[in-house]
Chains A and B, each alone.
Chain A
Amino acid sequence: MIYLDHSATSPVDPKVFKAMEPYFVDSFGNASTLYSLGREARKVMEENRKMVASLIGANPDEIIFTSGGTESDNIAIKGTAYRLKDKGNHIITSNIEHPAVDETCKYLEKKGFNVTYLSAGEDGIVSVSDLQDAITDETILITIMHANNEIGTIQPINEIGEIAREHKIIFHTDAVQSVGKIPVDVNQLNVDMLSLSAHKLYGPKGIGALYVKRGVRLEPILHGGGHEKGIRPGTENVAGIVGLGKACQIAKENLEETEQYVTSIRDEIIEKVLSEVEQSYLNGHSTKRLPNNINFRFKSIEGESLVLHLDAKGIASSTGSACSSKKLEPSHVLLALGLEEVDAHGSLRLTLGKENKKEEIDYIVKSIKDAVETLRKLSPLWCQVEQ
């Protein structure tokens, strides 16, 4: 199988798995206990906190372990909203956020907060001047993703961060898709909080972290035994933390090399498909995008059928087509780009990883070309386009 769905999840790196293994059966201690088994767990946890911090240029005491991206986003957004609700009730986000942010904002709207959803525009990038215009005296939080999970576009986080700082507004970014793929430095990005998740960078599922800058206070949304500074109580997932730490360490060591390698595969696939397949387009900005993200649009065909055809050829991919979503609605990200619903139907997302091979490129391109042609022969829309 050629796996081209790394933005959904990535395989666990065997080195990560190996690092985790001792922490299930042998070194199973509870990190809050006093005897040596527990102390060992505490020690290994703190070592791994350093590795996570080091990947994003943070201090270890600014890292809170969570169960993943969704939880980090919830803690950051609700925690800030509840903490600062007497100061103001306005939140700014974008219209291309992952549901972990989008749905959290919608929930807060129901609870009486006002939310502005900045429009990402045709190229999938939020405008800094729109953000500036949206700020009011009531604004307490800005939450805008670093890189989009569907179209891979990279947002001007450091500029937004500067503006947020000028206005003394808390700024959170969901960097689940960018951490480990492009350089991410919390100081350079001017962020107060940042979410990341292990399973997108060759670590295990169910573990992640929230960076919280020193001095930033959150209202806890979970209550319990006071772990992780009381922000995320619950017996620590030591094996998971080791997995996250190791994944961050490996990502840091190979960041530049992997970034260049994956970018070269990305660009070759994009170039070949756009030139070999009629009426094919790239969704999202062509260069301000993640090194591993490709999002095509093919006229007159539907994405779920395309994904099924590619699966039959041994290629795992995904689509933003309405037909493949549980609610039968096209991806809100593709609609945010201004695409018609019928065109959003024809989208195909390929997200690459470090284990993909250059030798696979021609097979991938040919498979896409064949599948698109097969489906167009079936499509009543295609002959209308041809005529």
Chain B
Amino acid sequence: MYSEKVMDHFSNPRNVGEIEEADGIGTVGNPTCGDLMTIYIKVKDNIIEDIKFKTFGCGAAIATSSMVTELAMGKTIEEALEITRNDVANELEGLPPVKMHCSNLAADALHAAIDDYKKKLAEK
């Protein structure tokens, strides 16, 4: 049911883990099935220079987390904010319809991490 790309990211997830003293942290949960995703970003000169994730969820949730970190790595904050829910699914060569919400989760977690970064920046 999953594409080869999904299985690749599921079996060999990129950028797994946490970042100590991250500049932004975003955690989102999915009410539909009670899963959880956290994304950590390190930002330098407005560029995402490191990004990591931790996910509790299905194969699609893990693959989309991995994919979104790959898409965001090295991008400027503005570019990263433009990564949409659909981009993640498309880059993975599609997801089964019932699993589209897992891809939403990944994009939302990235955006939440960026929001957190901006908030912290404003407070400084």
Residues of chain A at the chain B interface (Cβ within 8 Å): 300-302, 304-305, 308-309, 312, 321-324, 326, 328-330, 341-342, 345, 377-383
One of B30-38, B71-79, B82-90 at the interface: B30-38
A308 touches B10 (CB 8 A): yes
CA gap between A380 and B13 in the complex, in Å: 15
User: Out of B33, B34, B56, B98, which one reaches A380, CB within 8 Å?
Assistant: B56
Look across to chain B and name the residue whose beta carbon is closest to the beta carbon of A321.
B58
B58 touches A379 (CB 8 A): no
Interface string of B27-65 (1 = CB under 8 A from A): 100001111111000000000000000111111011000
B36 touches A305 (CB 8 A): no
CB distance from A70 to the nearest CB of B (A): 23
CA gap between A23 and B93 in the complex, in Å: 46
A-B contact count (CB 8 A): 65
CB distance from A315 to the nearest CB of B (A): 15
CB distance from A387 to the nearest CB of B (A): 13
User: Out of A312, A345, A377, which one reaches B16, CB within 8 Å?
Assistant: A377
Query: 25 interchain pairs (CB within 8 A)?
Result: A301-B56, A302-B35, A302-B56, A302-B57, A302-B58, A308-B2, A309-B11, A312-B11, A322-B33, A323-B57, A323-B61, A324-B58, A326-B98, A328-B33, A328-B98, A342-B34, A377-B16, A378-B16, A378-B54, A378-B55, A378-B56, A379-B56, A380-B27, A380-B54, A383-B18
A379 touches B54 (CB 8 A): yes
On chain B, the residues within 8 Å of A309 by CB distance are 11
Look across to chain A and name the residue whose beta carbon is closest to the beta carbon of B57.
A302
Interface string of B1-34 (1 = CB under 8 A from A): 0100001001101001010000000010000111
Look across to chain A and name the residue whose beta carbon is closest to the beta carbon of B16.
A378
Look across to chain B and name the residue whose beta carbon is closest to the beta carbon of A376.
B56
A328 touches B16 (CB 8 A): no
CA gap between A301 and B36 in the complex, in Å: 11
A378 touches B62 (CB 8 A): yes
CA gap between A323 and B60 in the complex, in Å: 9
On chain B, the residues within 8 Å of A301 by CB distance are 56
Sort A-B residue pairs by CB-CB distance and give the 7 closest, nearest first: A323-B58, A380-B54, A322-B33, A304-B58, A379-B56, A380-B38, A308-B59
Residues of chain B at the chain A interface (Cβ within 8 Å): 2, 7, 10-11, 13, 16, 18, 27, 32-38, 54-59, 61-62, 98
User: Out of B7, B13, B27, B98, which one reaches A378, CB within 8 Å?
Assistant: B13
CA gap between A321 and B61 in the complex, in Å: 14
CB distance from A332 to the nearest CB of B (A): 15
Q: Apart from A323-B58, A328-B33, A380-B54, what are 16 other A-B pairs with CB-CB below 8 Å?
A: A302-B57, A302-B58, A305-B59, A308-B7, A323-B33, A323-B35, A323-B61, A324-B58, A329-B33, A330-B33, A341-B33, A345-B33, A345-B35, A378-B56, A379-B56, A380-B37
A341 touches B34 (CB 8 A): yes
CA gap between A323 and B99 in the complex, in Å: 8
Look across to chain B and name the residue whose beta carbon is closest to the beta carbon of A380.
B54
Look across to chain B and name the residue whose beta carbon is closest to the beta carbon of A322.
B33
CA gap between A326 and B97 in the complex, in Å: 10
CA gap between A328 and B58 in the complex, in Å: 11
B56 touches A328 (CB 8 A): no
On chain A, the residues within 8 Å of B56 by CB distance are 300-302, 345, 378-382
CB distance from A321 to the nearest CB of B (A): 7
Known A305-B62, A308-B10, A324-B58; contact A380-B16, beta-carbon cutoff 8 A = no
CA gap between A20 and B18 in the complex, in Å: 59
On chain B, the residues within 8 Å of A323 by CB distance are 33, 35, 57-58, 61
B11 touches A380 (CB 8 A): no
* Most chain B CB atoms below 10 A, which of A301, A326, A342: A342
CA gap between A235 and B56 in the complex, in Å: 51
CA gap between A345 and B35 in the complex, in Å: 9
CA gap between A328 and B36 in the complex, in Å: 15
B36 touches A322 (CB 8 A): no
A305 touches B11 (CB 8 A): no
